Structure 1
Amino acid sequence: MMKERKVWISLAVGAGALALVSGVVLPIEKLLKQDAQPSADLGAPETVSSKPNTIGAPGKVVSPLVAQSAQQRAGTLEAVVNKRDASLERNRARYMLASDLVAQGQGEKALEPLKNLENDYPVLAPQILLKRAQAYQAAGRQKDAIAAWQEIVKQHQGDPAAAEALFLLGKNNPNYWDQALTQFPAHPRSLEIAKLRFQKNQKQLPVLLTLAKYGVDTKGYTQILDKLTSEFASQLKPADWDAIAFGYWENLVYDKAAIAYSRAPQTPQNVYRSGRGLHLTGTAGSEARYQQVVRQFPKSEEAGLALMRLASLADTPQSAIAYYDQVAQHFPSRAAEALLEKSKKLDTLNSAKTAAMMRQLVLSQYADSNAAAEMRWTYAQDRAKAGDLKLAREWAAPILKSRSKSDIAAQAGFWVGKWSQRLGQDEVAKEAYEQVLKQHPESYYAWRSAGMLGWNVGDFSTVRSLNPPVRKPAARPELLAGSDAMKELYQMGQDRDAWAYWQVEFRDRTNPTVAEQFTDGIMRLGIGDNLDGIYMVSSLRDRETPEDQEHYQHLVQQPAYWQALYPFPFVEEIESWSQQRQLNPMLVTALIRQESRFEPNIRSSVGAAGLMQVMPETASFIATNIKLKEYKLDDPQDNINLGTWYLDHTHQEYANNSMLAIASYNAGPGAVGGWVSKAKTQDADEFVEQIPYQETRGYVKSVLGNYWNYMRLYNPELSQRLSQLS
């Protein structure tokens, strides 16, 4: 008989007053030392605008070498080059070897593998010429380098490699820079030119527009937009305002974005955002903009959303109900949500009978909706609190069986299992846990379900001590969008060059396809922009059109999607300090992912810094304890050193209970100690659900959910077990 596992422990609450802003733990064992095996080749990807069919790893020789240093892979590359065949892998090896040699300053030696390579490897002919020019430079042959750049401009004037050549030639002839700005305004080198010219003269409208349209990640970007809108407003066209609005929106300056969107082309999205920007900043006028969306674009999805916003802003329940009725009548995808909100307004009007009818309508006609899931879960929790576990289970069970995409489904399924165990129905519990693992394998509750089933994944009190083996994919995934040249560069780890191509090729940044957005996320991860890279991939789930959802649903079946969401930056630092602190490296990875998305230079609004978001005063305390005289919080080594010490400290304070240690990392030991002393339950899962701070409650689930995802993706035994279950 399966028994419910009790993981609650008696705690001696420490009196320390340290606090760190929450972070995410990184799950890594001896990642670089594992004998990795390539994923199965799932076939060739589709083109930029097509539905993604496959994301496969090539499983070739060169791509797996990307993770190695130039010294580590030199022998293998030379062996492939010396085979003297005409294979793609040999061409790749020649290019990668030459790149490594150039980076090491061995220009003359790099010229040998590049000899006539453009004839054998035409897809990268412009880049090979560029690499040859770099080799000439490294060898001190400047005239030959200039000749190579000129050849690129002449023979490959439409290729992004020409932008690099134009930049270098333009150092002595500004006409080349003019050409680069005209032909390749989005190329990183063109943005560099624009920044240099802006520094010399800040009143050049074309330069400002180039930076506004393509330099969203530029330091001081919003100040550039401010200058444009304050000094050149009368000269700006609607398309310019569109780019400015998007730039403000991406940088979360919503009030200014709202103004810019009102002057951009009046599309449903632009008009809606002009209202939403005012709404988010509490600025007057949002209702009028929402009304404009409904009036001007009555059948658009934005109109339905605008009606929901208008209902939330309505002065009276009756006015709100009128908006909800419009939504329910004209926007089927939002009808359930509108009816549920309508029922809440009816409750305030003491129309209990009509409110109950609305809720019953949601449950009967929209059983698979998120609104129905929300209602069922509320009822289930109420019954559980009253001690009626059988009725609580009856309310919760349909949520897991429905097609609802709500995050509540995994939570409900897990608690169906817990309640069933308490009712002595172990087989029902086992079925519920397995359903959570099948239908919501990425969730925190999948981890808890696996633990309840007796899988060796750790629980709250044992996670710290685990040191699970990890196998990282040997080869890189195939990209879904972009040119063949860009894809080749990416496969060889030439990420900056591939990124330059992508900047030129990525045309519609405001409305990318699923394939383009996924590719953009992958490319950002390649250049170390982990925050935006993970965001670009994770936000694909918010796509709403049926076509986009179909593409997304196909994408999430591919390992590359999940591997992009749970990457492995700073492996060596995390592995080293995790070992020294005797911490599960996957837990540390998971915490860092939650805290900073692996960004060394990130700062929170309260001053927490770096990968593990260490507060300066906490860092000072730790440094004194470990006798660290000098440190920099934006240095990954120092930051992970300090952060892992503190994570070890919180574990020690709570008898190695990782749930409480993680909560303490986020909220501080004083708060957590108070919660423990006042806890009305001895069940750890119930305690998590009752954590008073919503942020900390979500943080604990996110960190441990991250840990689980690293485990399920990269631990061979667990991956195989989940595959068999599915």
Structure 2
Amino acid sequence: MYLVGTLFVALFSALFQSSMDRAFIALKANDWPSASSALDEAFSQDPQTFEANNLHYLRGRVAENENDWQRAGEEFNKIAADNPLHPLAVWHALRASVQLHDEPAAALLLSALPRDFPNELKMRIAREAGGPFALKIYEEVSTREARLEQAKLLNDTRSMRDLLRENKDDDVALEAAQLFAPYVLAPADEMDVAQAFAAHRQFEQALPLFQKASMDPAYAADARYQTGRVYFQLEDYPSAIDVYRAVARDFEGTDWQRDAEYQIALCYWRMADYRKSEIAFQDYIRKYGSAGNQEAATRNLVDVYRVLGENQKAVETIDRALRTRLSPIIRQVFLFTKAKILYSQNRHAAALAIFQQLGQMRLRWAAGAATLEEVEYFQGLSQAKLGNKAAAERVWQKLALDEFSYYGQRAAEKLGRSRTGQLTGTSTQACLPDASLTAAAVEADLAGLRHPVRAEMSRSSDIVSELVFLRLWDEAAFWIERPGARIPPRPAAEIAYLAGRYNRSIFYADRLPKTESTLPLLYPAGYQQTICDAALAQNVDPVWLHAIIWQESKYNPNARSGAAARGLMQLIPETARSVAASAGMPDLTIDMLYDPATSIQLGAKYWSMLLTQLNSPEMALAAYNGGPDNVEKWRSKSSDPELFVADIGFAETKKYVLSVFAARAAYASFLK
């Protein structure tokens, strides 16, 4: 009889395990009906084990995906108060009550949420509920988003103004500005709203407000100067010059005059009116000296001479500057610039001496400055030009050890090797390997974190371990970010990867050694099919798109930069609208840039346009980040393509180009 009983228990245990396995397979395929059926079978086979392993919680999640809110609420309400998943179950039950319009139950569940429950999850409930219930939540949450939503419900224009004055750079500020603009009367408010619009590159809305505020003497200088900035960013340089000249004239002897005259010189530079730019920078340096932005003006003047082909004037200007007291960074910038000029003049021995001098310095990152590997690369070029082949190869062999770095790839080419995973510029046959293979390997690696099927709830369990057992990667990835969660970087990266939170996978994987198993966590191939489709449509290499997204947003679709770029591929509004118009998307709005498919479609088209226009990945990347007009200036400094990356004038853009090449090499290595 004992043997029969043992066999009976084993049989039901095997049936339960089989049902649970089928449920997990169905969940992975988003097959909610099959998952529901398998979980219901598992419950009928062993209710106690079902409860001990938190499968009621999983059944509730499946019911949510089926929009069966009644069943979802019932399942979540079965989670006991001493269960680590109880706070989350309360939140899910609250969500179900909201969907069922059961206001008494929703109010009771809201009061049952822990005081430190995440605000973003409360906000999700509020957005779904709306009305008075949402207002109750907004009143309890102190975030800017909650304050804006509360102000909208109450039509509280004073709160909108307060939000604007606190911060003009986030999306809350833009929406507050749009809502508050019709109520603006005072010049101070006009300036606040205009500055918010300008920060988000909504120049058509900003311009009339700046112009109106400029009528008030207390704001005239600032408002008129900002008007000039708007014209400058719109690339209407003649209008910008007119405004800046008026500011310099009307506010003579003030900082406004000094700053306006510097901007005039920059406008001429951007207009490619180099002679006027030369005169304007010279006048500025003579007039203001160290009291003004002398170092930057001198650097720009040197660039003007280089574009004009007047390298001797450039060297003389640098030598004069080097005889004065300069900051260490600017001294390095001028030495590097002089070495590049000498190299372009075939004065390789003199150039080599300066490159070697720079190699002994502690180099710092700045506009126009060099990195150590960049200096070493140019030492190798100079040695090769001088006929010292062995010395050049020693330099290149050292650099080529880092197969992912830009100059490591260039050095490998000099040694007769191809760049890592080198592909043709427009290859559309290079879609990365199926991401499901990587996901399966990652999930297998996490198997050790999953507890075995148990007969009763463990007192040592915690939220993350329970969610990992249930393979609810989305929630597990959220909760590993909460205070008190002590998850090592490797499993944290893997959980984030499986959840599709690739930016967090990158964050954690960046703390790990680069190995064959960690590289896919550091360089995840998110949105793979969408990227492949967009690459095929635009006839570009999808690996470039992955690399650009990696550098631009780290695969965070909600990313927003200080320059108002948004989404995965970080397009600024005016670029996005221009590309969208050519792509047959005339109704594009700023918020649509947060949509991954839209961002990828527009970004792929823009990348294709830049590659076609510039016929150089380095130049196309520099244009993607720094603008096509600036690329024309940078490449005009020298006819030698070896110098282009070194001559990029913006520190951020140069770093961007180097980083995207490194990311592309990493992604291309997956194709081996």
TM bucket (normalised to shorter chain) is 0.5 to 0.7
**Is 1:435 equivalent to 2:364 in the alignment?**
no
**Which of the numbers 145, 148, 162 marks the counterpart of 1:219?**
145
Q: Relative to 1, partners in 2 of residues 1:91 and 1:522: Cα closer, same or farther, differing over 3 Å?
A: same
Counterpart position of 1:707: 664
> What SS does structure 2 have at the residue aligned with 1:182?
coil
Counterpart position of 1:94: 23
- Whole-Å Cα distance in 1 between the matches of residues 341 and 469 of structure 2? 55
**Is 1:153 equivalent to 2:116 in the alignment?**
no
**Which of the numbers 613, 619, 622 marks the counterpart of 1:660?**
619
Alignment of 1:329-368 (within 5 A): none
Q: Give 1:556 shift.
A: 3.0
- Whole-Å Cα distance in 2 between the matches of residues 139 and 119 of structure 1? 25
* Structure 2 segments unaligned to the other structure (5+ residues): 1-10, 152-165, 173-289, 291-320, 343-347, 364-368, 451-460
Alignment of 1:52-131 (within 5 A): 94-97=23-26, 103-104=32-33, 107-108=36-37, 110-112=39-41, 116=45, 125-126=53-54, 128-131=55-58
Which residue identity lines up with residue 407 of structure 2 in the other structure? Y
Q: Give 1:689 shift.
A: 0.9
- Whole-Å Cα distance in 2 between the matches of residues 426 and 492 of structure 1? 61
* Structure having the higher Rg: 2
- Equivalent pairs counted in the alignment come to 475
Q: Relative to 1, partners in 2 of residues 1:134 and 1:466: Cα closer, same or farther, differing over 3 Å?
A: closer
On the 8 A contact 1:531/1:597 being kept in 2, the answer is yes
Q: Give 1:395 shift.
A: 3.7
On the 8 A contact 1:152/1:161 being kept in 2, the answer is no
Which residue identity lines up with residue 117 of structure 2 in the other structure? P
Counterpart position of 1:325: none
- Whole-Å Cα distance in 2 between the matches of residues 223 and 141 of structure 1? 29
> What SS does structure 2 have at the residue aligned with 1:153?
coil
Q: Could you list the per-position Cα deviations for residues 44-98 of structure 1 after superposition, in whole angstroms to 9, with x for gaps in the alignment?
A: xxxxxxxxxxxxxxxxxxxxxxxxxxxxxxxxxxxxxx99969999955533425
Alignment of 1:573-584 (within 5 A): 573-584=530-541
**Backbone CA RMSD of aligned residues:** 5.7
> What SS does structure 2 have at the residue aligned with 1:162?
helix
> What SS does structure 1 have at the residue aligned with 2:79?
helix
> What SS does structure 2 have at the residue aligned with 1:706?
helix
Q: Could you list the per-position Cα deviations for residues 489-546 of structure 1 after superposition, in whole angstroms to 9, with x for gaps in the alignment?
A: 458763323245436xx225xxx97x56776666566555555665x448x7xxxxxx
Counterpart position of 2:375: 412
Which residue identity lines up with residue 383 of structure 2 in the other structure? S
Q: Relative to 1, partners in 2 of residues 1:222 and 1:524: Cα closer, same or farther, differing over 3 Å?
A: farther
Counterpart position of 1:646: 606
**Is 1:476 equivalent to 2:435 in the alignment?**
no
On the 8 A contact 1:448/1:459 being kept in 2, the answer is no
On the 8 A contact 1:166/1:176 being kept in 2, the answer is no
* Structure 1 segments unaligned to the other structure (5+ residues): 1-81, 226-246, 254-315, 317-346, 360-370, 541-551, 717-726
User: Identity rate of aligned residues, in percent?
Assistant: 18
**Is 1:507 equivalent to 2:494 in the alignment?**
no
Alignment of 1:365-376 (within 5 A): none
Alignment of 1:271-286 (within 5 A): none
TM-score (norm 1): 0.51
Q: Relative to 1, partners in 2 of residues 1:377 and 1:419: Cα closer, same or farther, differing over 3 Å?
A: farther
**Which of the numbers 394, 410, 427 marks the counterpart of 1:448?**
410
Return the structure number with greater relative CO, CA threshold 8 A, min gap 6. 1
Counterpart position of 1:680: 638
TM-score (norm 2): 0.54
Counterpart position of 1:421: 384
Q: Relative to 1, partners in 2 of residues 1:136 and 1:668: Cα closer, same or farther, differing over 3 Å?
A: closer
Q: Which has the higher helix share?
A: 2
Q: Relative to 1, partners in 2 of residues 1:208 and 1:192: Cα closer, same or farther, differing over 3 Å?
A: same
Q: Give 1:397 shift.
A: 5.5
Counterpart position of 2:231: none
Which residue identity lines up with residue 113 of structure 2 in the other structure? L
> What SS does structure 1 have at the residue aligned with 2:53?
helix
Q: Relative to 1, partners in 2 of residues 1:138 and 1:695: Cα closer, same or farther, differing over 3 Å?
A: closer
Q: Relative to 1, partners in 2 of residues 1:629 and 1:663: Cα closer, same or farther, differing over 3 Å?
A: same
- Whole-Å Cα distance in 2 between the matches of residues 140 and 591 of structure 1? 37
- Whole-Å Cα distance in 1 between the matches of residues 569 and 526 of structure 2? 13
- Whole-Å Cα distance in 2 between the matches of residues 250 and 138 of structure 1? 36
Report which stretch shifted further, 637-646 or 604-613.
604-613
- Whole-Å Cα distance in 1 between the matches of residues 652 and 111 of structure 2? 51
On the 8 A contact 2:91/2:113 being kept in 1, the answer is no
Alignment of 1:456-467 (within 5 A): 456-457=418-419, 463-465=425-427
- Whole-Å Cα distance in 1 between the matches of residues 375 and 584 of structure 2? 48
Q: Could you list the per-position Cα deviations for residues 24-52 of structure 1 after superposition, in whole angstroms to 9, with x for gaps in the alignment?
A: xxxxxxxxxxxxxxxxxxxxxxxxxxxxx
Q: Relative to 1, partners in 2 of residues 1:133 and 1:98: Cα closer, same or farther, differing over 3 Å?
A: same
- Whole-Å Cα distance in 2 between the matches of residues 698 and 92 of structure 1? 48
Which residue identity lines up with residue 552 of structure 2 in the other structure? E
Which residue identity lines up with residue 679 of structure 1 in the other structure? K
Q: Give 1:453 shift.
A: 3.1
Q: Could you list the per-position Cα deviations for residues 413-446 of structure 1 after superposition, in whole angstroms to 9, with x for gaps in the alignment?
A: 43343333333344443443343344x5553323
On the 8 A contact 2:123/2:146 being kept in 1, the answer is no
Counterpart position of 1:495: 473
> What SS does structure 2 have at the residue aligned with 1:152?
coil
